[in-house]
């Protein structure tokens, strides 16, 4: 295993921390690592900064993410990777749509010409909003405690999505499916970053598959055209044992 040495821990919100580190490893935005917390667990994490310093932004879900979120300067983040294909980062007018901690891997794509939509269940789920120009940011929460009330698709209605050269989206699959359905019959280009249960990260265990494609290896980023061919998208998923269940 390799490791990053933490140089800074920044608290983003209750239960969300960004860990910074300096390392020469080359990372394409959207790629991820399998981060190992010895004796605890191993989890996939993507990068919220791919420049210098690099960073990961972690939301506490279980023991491993809690351990990582609590790391101090000098602590080591053990990992294998980077894995996956990453986003094709274009020059032009970009829209990024992230739900919850799904906004993190989209941060490296932001430039002056980028608009953001961040969604979450409640105000506490909205993170990394400060990375955007406030004039080019729409926030939506299910309960209306921050920004507009409603889902990400509600926020999309407020802008002319066909005016963007590329749309990037990341978040839970049900949210991505809603975004996909909103866009599928419009004249847009889009890249979606999927999340599925991962064990190996290197395309051999089949735990992350969707219609025969491996999210860890063929993805995690797929285009609108690719997802059109996948009838499992947003409909069925695999449990950790490999059993197919409906969302």
Ligand X SMILES: Cc1cc2nc3c(=O)[nH]c(=O)nc-3n(C[C@H](O)[C@H](O)[C@H](O)COP(=O)(O)O)c2cc1C
Instruction: Confirm or reject binding of residue 90 to another protein (CB under 8 A).
Output: no
CB 16 to ligand FES: min, Å: 25
Per-residue mark of binding to ligand FES, 202-241 (x: CB under 6 A): -xxxxxx-----x-xx------------------------
Which residue, 10 or 204, is less far from ligand X as judged by CB? Answer: 204
Which residues inside 148-207 make contact with ligand FES, applying CB under 6 A? 198-201, 203-207
Which residues inside 52-81 make contact with another protein, applying CB under 8 A? 76, 78, 80
Transcribe the chain into DSSP letters. -EEEEEEEEEEEETTEEEEEE-------TT-EEEEEETTTEEEEEEEEE-SSSEEEEEE--SHHHHHHHT--TT-EEEEEEEES------SS-EEEEEEGGGGGGGGGG--TTEEEEEEESSGGG---GGGS-GGGEEEEETTSSSSEES-HHHHHTTS-GGG-SEEEEES-HHHHHHHHHHHTTSS--EEEE-----S-SSS-S-TTEETTEETTTT-SEEEHHHHHT-TTTTTEEE-TTS-EEE-
Q: Which of 27, 44, 25 is nearest to 35 (CA)?
A: 44
Rounded Cα gap, residues 151 and 138, in angstroms: 11
Instruction: Write down the residue that tokens 């992230």 correspond to.
Output: 98
Which residue, 185 or 240, is less far from another protein as judged by CB? Answer: 240
Instruction: Confirm or reject binding of residue 211 to another protein (CB under 8 A).
Output: yes
Which residue, 24 or 240, is less far from another protein as judged by CB? Answer: 240
Binds ligand X (CB under 6 A): choice among 205, 224, 230, 238 = 205
Binds ligand X (CB under 6 A): choice among 1, 10, 90, 204 = 204
CB 19 to ligand FES: min, Å: 23
Which residues inside 9-38 make contact with another protein, applying CB under 8 A? 34, 36, 38
Instruction: Confirm or reject binding of residue 244 to another protein (CB under 8 A).
Output: yes
By CB under 6 A, name the binding residues for ligand FES: 198-201, 203-208, 214, 216-217
By CB under 8 A, name the binding residues for another protein: 1, 3, 34, 36, 38-39, 41-43, 76, 78, 80, 199-207, 209-214, 232, 238-244
By CB under 6 A, name the binding residues for ligand X: 204-205
């Amino acid at each position: 295993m390799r490791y990053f040495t933490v140089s800074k821990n920044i608290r983003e919100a209750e239960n969300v921390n960004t860990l910074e580190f300096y390392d020469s490893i080359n990372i394409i935005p959207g790629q991820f690592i399998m981060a190992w917390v010895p004796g605890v667990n191993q989890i996939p994490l993507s990068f919220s900064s791919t420049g210098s310093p690099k960073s990961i932004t972690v939301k506490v879900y279980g023991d491993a993410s809690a351990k990582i979120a609590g790391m101090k300067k000098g602590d080591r983040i053990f990992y294998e990777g980077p894995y996956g294909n990453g986003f094709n980062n274009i020059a032009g007018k970009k829209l990024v749509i992230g739900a919850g901690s799904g906004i993190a891997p989209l941060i490296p794509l932001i430039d002056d010409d980028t608009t953001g939509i961040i969604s979450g269940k409640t105000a506490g789920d909205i993170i990394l909003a400060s990375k955007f120009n406030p004039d080019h940011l729409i926030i939506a929460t299910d309960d209306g405690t921050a920004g507009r009330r409603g889902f990400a698709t509600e926020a999309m209605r407020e802008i002319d999505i066909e005016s963007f050269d590329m749309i990037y989206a990341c978040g839970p699959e049900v949210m991505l499916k809603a975004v996909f359905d909103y866009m599928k019959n419009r004249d847009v280009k889009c890249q979606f970053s999927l999340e599925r249960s991962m064990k190996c990260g290197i395309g051999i265990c089949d735990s992350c598959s969707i219609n025969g494609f491996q999210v860890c290896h063929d993805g995690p980023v797929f285009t609108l055209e690719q997802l059109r061919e996948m009838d499992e998208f947003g409909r069925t998923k695999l449990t950790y044992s490999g059993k197919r269940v409906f969302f």
